[in-house]
Structure 1
């Protein structure tokens, strides 16, 4: 194992054991390197790496702190990688979303309330044939986010939101080129909400798979 990797793992262990928590200031570099039995140069490289992935926050003239460690913050590095993907690899993003989002919907079923269901139905009712494609896609993003957030898993929600936000161009493209996109989208959304209201996790999950797969298959046909 590289010395820098060892330093990263030791700092990670300090966070996992609770020795360092969100917002805590790390000991000075010299003190920390001596405590962990590592060189100051390897400790410095480890801190740089952990700063890049938003685990640490280096404040010049002040010190190095553990960030809030919130899911959205930690997933920014993954979002950057996703931004570098070209249009053909968007299919891979849809494939990952198709795996993760139905699982989140199934979890959300357990936490669904009358107020949440009413909110989802109100979102659907706000869209009609006068809604343009951008408005439809905005509704789609909001609708899915509301369900996934209800699952109660911040990491899963942030991951799905990051994936979903990078498929917007493909969804707008589909809306512009495919007939009855509004009717189809709203009908599929209503079916998902009906299943959620009944507490049928299996059906809600299956309908979500079909919903996401429809866009994925359309894009697959379009790029081929």
Structure 2
């Protein structure tokens, strides 16, 4: 793809779009260098300030990285946290967002469950066991929440699917940050038992049982909707 001058109207958006097209259409992979800033700005017909703002868009997504004297290069083609810029706004709408986030986490974890067993190597299972062990031993609540998030993030990494992994900051980390209230009392023993059952299902390659366990582990956060809103969330 040849870089051409962008239109003056909507200059920032057009610059962002053109840089993205340049990366995709030229099949630039990880580590590929982009043209120097001065050259790129000149070929696009935009100021260096506009170019830098557009490049920052891709840096925020983790797609572009820069190093002194090396310029900009492609870091990866899939953003690590596509929702990162929106989390403050989602948090400001917590009451409306939380029920939808609970549903999304349920759908993501149970959907990914069918692909987790393939990635459940002895090393990954040992990592899950270690997290479960530490969670059982830890009494400090903040650390327990952190460990629980790490364990569920490891589960979503098992399929080796970059799109699942990219959702971890939203459906695991942000979910933990919002601190939803379960509809039934959660004890340390129950949490530990459910985690152990999930790991055992993975170890045994029992995909159907694993999916059921993942679902029941999240269903405790579902709340009943009023008749006007339709059926119960679960």
Q: Deviations over 1:155-212 (max 9, x none)?
A: 42132234311122444x648x964431221222122112211212232123212212
1:197 pairs with 2:203: yes
Q: Secondary structure at the match of 1:13?
A: helix
Q: Distance in 1 between matches of 2:124 and 2:154?
A: 8
RMSD: 3.6
Q: Distance in 2 between matches of 1:105 and 1:82?
A: 25
TM-score, normalization: structure 1?
Answer: 0.72
Q: Distance in 2 between matches of 1:104 and 1:215?
A: 19
1:214 pairs with 2:220: yes
Moved more, 21-30 or 108-117: 21-30
Moved more, 154-163 or 125-134: 125-134
Alignment of 1:56-95 (within 5 A): 56=64, 65-69=72-76, 71=78, 74-76=79-81, 78-85=83-90, 86=92, 87-88=94-95, 89-95=97-103
Q: Distance in 1 between matches of 2:55 and 2:184?
A: 45
Change in Cα spacing, 1:91 to 1:140, as seen in structure 2 (3 Å) is same
Deviation at 1:31, TM superposition (A): 6.0
Alignment of 1:13-162 (within 5 A): 13-18=21-26, 20-23=28-31, 24-29=33-38, 34=43, 39-40=45-46, 45=50, 48-54=53-59, 55-56=63-64, 65-69=72-76, 71=78, 74-76=79-81, 78-85=83-90, 86=92, 87-88=94-95, 89-128=97-136, 131-162=139-170
The runs of 5 or more residues in structure 2 that have no matched partner are 1-6, 225-234
The runs of 5 or more residues in structure 1 that have no matched partner are 219-224
Deviation at 1:110, TM superposition (A): 0.9
Q: How many residues align?
A: 210
TM-score, normalization: structure 2?
Answer: 0.69
Q: Do the aligned partners of 1:53 and 1:77 also contact (CA within 8 Å) in 2?
A: no
Deviation at 1:141, TM superposition (A): 1.1
Change in Cα spacing, 1:144 to 1:31, as seen in structure 2 (3 Å) is closer
Q: Distance in 2 between matches of 1:20 and 1:113?
A: 32
Deviation at 1:152, TM superposition (A): 1.0
Q: Considering fraction of residues, name the structure with more helix.
A: 1
Deviation at 1:114, TM superposition (A): 3.1
Change in Cα spacing, 1:59 to 1:33, as seen in structure 2 (3 Å) is same
Q: Which has the higher contact order (CA 8 A, sep 6+)?
A: 1
